[in-house]
Amino acid sequence: MDSVVLRTMQWRDEGGGLWVATFNRPQVMNALDTHTSLDLRDIFAPLRFDSSGVRCVILTGSGQRAFSAGGDLKERQGMSSDQWRAQHAIIEEGAYAVMNCSVPVIAAVNGIALGGGLEIAMCCDFIYASRSARFGLPEVTRGIIPGAGGTQTLARAIGERKAKEIILSGRQFGSEEAYSWGLINGVCDPDALLPTVLQVARDICANAPIAVRQAKKAIHQGLQLDMTSALEFEVQAYERTIATEDRLEGIAAFNERRKPNFKGR
């Protein structure tokens, strides 16, 4: 099993195309400093166009207390306006790299996910959370607003009115509320969180990689379009799967009553 330690993150191969990326600053509740955003960019940006054998990624935090408590305000103390803008551009690069990753990314929220931490989780394709996790976008209580996608991803996940309530009040909420609104896909006991997400990820990894990537693209891009354009986009994504070896293998496996062996070709 390969493991790469970056500046503030760990990148671990679980086998079968499954990788786990872990925020590794537990002493500060995995707060997002500049190096963390650079690590996010360095991990996920190359996967936008070339999956390099990666079939699914789990993003989580080290320790039991936090997925990520958000932007590192100690690092930001004393920054000029120009320095703040330059640093925030790096945060945007990291967040957008996660959002634009071609393979599925699952957030395993093991504790607090506030501010930028919740924004990064919402950049993932879907979220599982510990029963003890806490969420919130408290930026307005610090004189700013969510700026790593939060005003857009939250509204798309739970609706405009609820998103306005959460962002404008800055209040925190728990896993059960998040689940009831459709923000997260499942609530797990703390010890069961990572095993549950690993199994979901392995189920994804067992499927045809090209088909998975095209389905993800069709869903995400289609939601930005009107229905007629979205259906056209879906057919284009479908066409990409027809000439693949995996399509032939999937049909052969069905008729031979065996599990398919997809190779991403």
Average pLDDT over residues 251-265: 95
The active-site residue, picked from 92, 93, 139, 232, is 139
- Residue 119 annotated in active site: yes
The CATH T-level fold of domain 3-205 is 2-enoyl-CoA Hydratase; Chain A, domain 1 (3.90.226)
* CATH code, 209-255: 1.10.12.10
pLDDT tens, position by position, 97-134: 999 999 999 999 999 999 999 999 999 999 999 999 99
pLDDT at 1 over 80: no
Cα–Cα–Cα angle for 206, 47, 263, nearest 5°?
A: 30
Residue for token pair 């929220």: 109
More confident residue, 75 or 231: 231
The active-site residue, picked from 14, 92, 119, 249, is 119
From the list 244, 216, 220, 218, the residue with the least C-alpha distance to 232 is 218
- Residue 92 annotated in active site: no
Q: What percent of the chain has pLDDT over 70?
A: 100
**pTM for this predicted structure:** 0.95
Domain boundaries along the sequence of the chain: 3-205, 209-255
- Local structure of 260: helix, strand or coil: coil
Please name the amino acid found at residue 264: G
Torsions phi, psi for 142 (to 5 deg): -120, 10
